[in-house]
Structure 1
Amino acid sequence: MNNQRSLFFNVDWIIILIYLALCVIGWFNIHAAVYDPLHPSILDLSTNYGKQFLFIITALLLGSIILLLDGKFFSSLSPVFYGVTLVLLVVVLIVGRNVGGNQAWIPLGSFRLQPSEFAKFSTCLLLAHYISSSNLKMSDIKMIGICLLILLIPTALIMLQPDTGSALTFTSLVFALYREGLSGYILIIGATAIALFVLTLLFNKLLLVGIIVGLAALILILFRRSRRFVIPISLVAVGCILFIFSVNFAYQNILEAHQRNRIDVILGKINDPRGQGYNLNQSKIAIGSGGLWGKGYLQGTQTKYDFVPEQSTDFIFCTVGEEWGFAGSLVVVGLYLTMLLRIVNLAERQRSSFTRIYGYGVASILFFHFFINIGMTIGLVPVIGIPLPFLSYGGSSLWSFTILLFILLKLDSNRMGVV
C-alpha cells in the first residue's frame, strides 16, 4: 500500500494531464479530419477515429504497466530493447509492407507495426545507459565514436526503408550529448553545414566561395598578430568550400526526387501549387482560413472535402488551425511547450545521470517532432512526413511516444531513492 501511495504522489501529474489533453485533442481532430457521415459516432471502431480510441486506451494501459515496473528494469535491459528494435528494423526490410514508397510497416493482421517509432525510445535508453556507465568524458574520441555508432545503426537501417523523416529524428539526440559535455563546436559545425547547404541551392557557388575567402582574409587581417589562427581559419575556409562543391552531388544522388521537390518548393525554386506544392499550399490555406477562433468543430471546408492529403496523420495540425483557429493552435502549442519545459525541469532535478540523459533524449525527440511537424504544415521546413506526438493518427506512434514519456515519469518517480 505504501509503495502504491508513493507511486501516486511521486509521479509528475502535470505531464500526465498534458499528455491526456493532447491525446483527447488529437482524437477529436482525427474525428474531424476523416469524418464519415455514414459512421458519425466517434466511438465507431470501423473508422480511424474509433481505432484511435482503442490506441489511446491501450497506450494508457502501457503507461500504467510502465509505472508499476521497477525503474532499474529499463536501465539494465536497455541493450536488449535496442537489440530487439534493430532486429525488427531488419525484419521490416524483408517482410515489410510498402506504403507511400516506404517499406516501414510489418503487417500483423489488420494492424501494421512501425519499428522505426519504437527505435526512438530504445536508442535513448541505450545512449543513456552507455554514457552513465562509462568512465570516459564526452570530449573523449572513443566516447563520441560509440555514441555516434549507437545513433547511426538505427538511422542507417531506417534510411534503407527509406524513411528520411524518422531517420532524421535521431540527429536531435545530439542535444542530449551536448548537455553531457559534447563540444559546442559540433553544433556550430552542424548549423553551418545546414546554412551552407541552403545557400548553395539558392545562390551561385562561386559567389559563396568569394564571400568565404573574403571573410577568411578579413579575419586573418584582424588577427594578423596571432599566427595560431592562420591554420585553423584556413582549414575552416577550405572545408566550407569543399562542402559547397559537394552539395549538388549529394542533392542529386542521395536525396529522392520527391525530397528534392519538397525542398525546392520551400525555397521558392518551384511554384507549382497544383503539383509539387499542392500539399503545402492546401495546408497553409486550411490553417489560414481558420482565422482567430476557427470555423468550429466539423465545420472545416478544407478538412471536410479532403483537400489536404494525410490530414489525420502528418497534417493533423491543419485541422486544429482550420476548425479551432489561431486561439486553438496557440493552446496546442502552449501544451507542447509546457510539457517540453517540464521534461527539461525533470531531467535537471535528477540525481541519476542515466535518468538525466534519458530525460534530455525524450525532450530532444519530442521537440524535433513538434517543431518539424508544425513547421512543415506552415511552410517553414520541407515536408518530411513525421507525426505530431499524441495528436496524429496511428497506434505505433502513439504507443512509442507513450513508452518514451512514461519511462521518464517512472524514472523520475524513483529519483529520491537514488543515492
Structure 2
Amino acid sequence: MPKTLLQIDWLTVLIITVLIGFGWVNIYSTTFISLEENIFDLSKIYGKQLMWIILGLVISSVILAMDSKFFKRFANVIYIFALLSLIGLFLFGKTIAGQTAWYSFGAFSIQPAEFVKTAVALALAKYISEMDNDLSRFTSQLKGFAIIGIPLALIMLQPDAGSAVIYLAFMIPLYREGLPHFYISFGFLAAAIFILTLKFGFSIFAPVFVAVFVIIYLFNRKKKPKLWRYALTLIFALGFSYSVNFILNSVLLPHQKDRFDVLIGETNDIKGSAFNLYQSEVAIGSGGWSGKGWLKGSQTQGRFVPEQHTDYIFSTVGEEWGFMGTSIVILLFSMLILRLFHLAERQKSQFSRVYGYSVLSVIFVHFFVNIAMVIGLFPTVGIPLPFFSYGGSGLWGFLILVLIFLKLDAKRKSLD
C-alpha cells in the first residue's frame, strides 16, 4: 500500500479533491439558511454530502489497497452483479419523480446506475483485451455493443433517459480500439437530422438536404464514389427526418418533448417547461465577472432554480463566483480530462488503456452535457456534474471509476 501511494498520479487526485471541495461549498450555498447551523447535520443536504465525502475516503482507501489484477480477473462477475442490481430495481426499487432508479435505505437512497458505469468499463476492457480479433469485424462490434446496450436498455426502462445517454460515451474507447468511423458519423448525422427537422420541419429540411447531398456527390465524383452508399445514406436521412414528428409525439414522454421544444426555441414558457432553464440563465448572467459573492446570490438564496444542488449546480457557480468561477471549474475539468487522456495513452496493457478511455469518456460526456444543459445548449436530461453535484451514488460512482484506473496506472509496469 505505501509503495502504491507513491506511484499514484497525485495531480489527478489533487484536481478531483479541489472539485469535490468546491462542489460542497456550492452545495452548502444552495441549501444555506443560517451560519449557526451544524455542517454535519444529516437532515441537511450539505450534511449528507459531507458524510458521502468522508465515506468516499474510506472507499478510496479500500480500492487502493486491492490487488490491481483483481479488476480484470473479476470484470465479468462485477458486470453480472451490476446487471442484477438494475433488474432488482423493478422488484425492490423506489420510485421518485416517475423513475424507479433507487434502492431506499431509510433516509438514504442508492442509485445503481452510477456504479454500473464502472462495471461496463471493466467488462468492455476485458472483452477487447482478450478477444483474438479486431473491432473491424461486425461480430466483434456486436459483442461490444451488447456489453453497453444491455444496461442501457435496463436503465431506459426505469425510465431514466439521462443516465442512459451517458452509456453512449463508451463508443469512444471502442473507436480508439478500431471501431470504424461509420458509427460515429452515423450518430452525429442522426442527431443533426433530428434537431434540424425539429427546428425547420420535414418540408424544408428534405429539399435542402437533397440539394446539399447532390452537391457533395458531384464534388467527389472524380474519386468515383459508390453510388449505392450515397443512395442508402440519403434514403436513411429522409426516412429518419420524416419519422421525427412521430418520435416526438408518440415515442417521447410529454416532459421530454417539452425539453426539445425549449431547446429549439419552440416554446418560451418561463413559468412552465422553460422555467428551470430560464432561472438558470438568469442566475449565471447576473454573476457578471466576479460574481455576487458566496451566500449572496439572489437566485440561489431565493431558491428560484429547481434542483440547483444537483443538475443545476453550475448556475450557483455562475451567480456567486461569476465568469472567473465558471472559468476555473471548466479549466479544472479540462485539466482532469486531459490528464486522464495522458494516463490512458501511457498504459502498457490494452485492458488498462481501454478502461482509462472509458473513464475519461464518461467524465467528459457528463461534464459537457451538464454544462450545455445548464446554459441551454442541450435538453434538460438530469445529468449531474462529476464530483461537484450533490449525491452519494454519483460521488462514490465517480470515485470508484477513477480510482480503479489510478490503481491500474500505478501498477502499469506489472500488468503487461
TM-score category, normalised to shorter length = over 0.9
TM-score after normalising by structure 1: 0.96
1:251-276 deviation per Cα after TM superposition (whole angstroms, max 9, x unaligned) = 22221110110111111000111111
Instruction: Spell out the pairing of 1:153-172 with structure 2 (5 A cutoff).
Output: 153-172=150-169
1:72-131 deviation per Cα after TM superposition (whole angstroms, max 9, x unaligned) = 111111111111111111111222111112111111122111011111111111001101
1:188-232 deviation per Cα after TM superposition (whole angstroms, max 9, x unaligned) = 111011000001111131332212332343344445566652221
Report what 1:363 is aligned to: 360
- Which residue identity lines up with residue 172 of structure 1 in the other structure? A
Report what 1:277 is aligned to: 274
Instruction: Spell out the pairing of 1:402-413 with structure 2 (5 A cutoff).
Output: 402-413=399-410
Report what 2:236 is aligned to: 239
Unaligned ranges ≥5, structure 1: none
Residues 295 and 84 from structure 1, CA distance in 2 versus in 1: closer, same or farther, beyond 3 angstroms? same
Report what 1:144 is aligned to: 141
What is the CA–CA distance in structure 2 between the aligned matches of 1:222 and 1:54, rounded to whole Å?
A: 61
- Which residue identity lines up with residue 123 of structure 1 in the other structure? V
3-state DSSP class of the match of 1:362?
helix
Report what 1:106 is aligned to: 103
Residue of 247, 259, 264 corresponding to 1:262: 259
What is the CA–CA distance in structure 2 between the aligned matches of 1:221 and 1:26, rounded to whole Å?
A: 53
Residues 217 and 8 from structure 1, CA distance in 2 versus in 1: closer, same or farther, beyond 3 angstroms? closer
Instruction: Spell out the pairing of 1:20-419 with structure 2 (5 A cutoff).
Output: 20-37=17-34, 40-223=37-220, 229-419=226-416
1:15-59 deviation per Cα after TM superposition (whole angstroms, max 9, x unaligned) = 101111111111111110011228623232331111111100111
TM-score after normalising by structure 2: 0.97
Is the 1:223–1:229 contact (alpha carbons within 8 Å) kept by the matching residues of 2? no
- Which residue identity lines up with residue 183 of structure 1 in the other structure? P
What is the CA–CA distance in structure 1 between the aligned matches of 2:96 and 2:276, rounded to whole Å?
A: 18
Residues 220 and 265 from structure 1, CA distance in 2 versus in 1: closer, same or farther, beyond 3 angstroms? closer
1:257-306 deviation per Cα after TM superposition (whole angstroms, max 9, x unaligned) = 10110111111000111111000000001111111111111111111111
Residues 370 and 219 from structure 1, CA distance in 2 versus in 1: closer, same or farther, beyond 3 angstroms? closer
Cα drift, residue 172 of structure 1: 1.1
1:152-200 deviation per Cα after TM superposition (whole angstroms, max 9, x unaligned) = 1101110111100000100011111110011112111110110000011
Unaligned ranges ≥5, structure 2: none
What is the CA–CA distance in structure 2 between the aligned matches of 1:253 and 1:119, rounded to whole Å?
A: 30
Report what 2:16 is aligned to: 19
3-state DSSP class of the match of 2:226?
helix
- Which residue identity lines up with residue 256 of structure 2 in the other structure? Q
Is the 2:92–2:103 contact (alpha carbons within 8 Å) kept by the matching residues of 1? yes
- Which residue identity lines up with residue 215 of structure 2 in the other structure? L
- Quote the sequence identity (%): 44
What is the CA–CA distance in structure 1 between the aligned matches of 2:45 and 2:214, rounded to whole Å?
A: 60
Is the 1:104–1:163 contact (alpha carbons within 8 Å) kept by the matching residues of 2? yes
What is the CA–CA distance in structure 2 between the aligned matches of 1:219 and 1:171, rounded to whole Å?
A: 29
Deviates more, 1:338-347 or 1:251-260: 251-260
1:296-321 deviation per Cα after TM superposition (whole angstroms, max 9, x unaligned) = 11111111111000011111111111
Residues 204 and 415 from structure 1, CA distance in 2 versus in 1: closer, same or farther, beyond 3 angstroms? same
Is the 1:139–1:183 contact (alpha carbons within 8 Å) kept by the matching residues of 2? yes
Q: Which runs of structure 1 show a deviation greater than 6 angstroms over 4 or more consecutive aligned residues?
A: none
What is the CA–CA distance in structure 1 between the aligned matches of 2:347 and 2:61, rounded to whole Å?
A: 22
Deviates more, 1:376-385 or 1:215-224: 215-224
What is the CA–CA distance in structure 2 between the aligned matches of 1:407 and 1:47, rounded to whole Å?
A: 31
Is the 2:4–2:410 contact (alpha carbons within 8 Å) kept by the matching residues of 1? yes
Would you say how many aligned residue pairs link Structure 1 and Structure 2? 416
3-state DSSP class of the match of 1:329?
helix
What is the CA–CA distance in structure 2 between the aligned matches of 1:223 and 1:69, rounded to whole Å?
A: 55
Residues 223 and 367 from structure 1, CA distance in 2 versus in 1: closer, same or farther, beyond 3 angstroms? closer
3-state DSSP class of the match of 1:98?
strand
What is the CA–CA distance in structure 2 between the aligned matches of 1:253 and 1:400, rounded to whole Å?
A: 34
Query: Cα RMSD (Å) of the superposition?
Result: 1.4
Residues 297 and 241 from structure 1, CA distance in 2 versus in 1: closer, same or farther, beyond 3 angstroms? same
What is the CA–CA distance in structure 2 between the aligned matches of 1:356 and 1:313, rounded to whole Å?
A: 31
3-state DSSP class of the match of 1:105?
strand
Is the 1:39–1:47 contact (alpha carbons within 8 Å) kept by the matching residues of 2? no
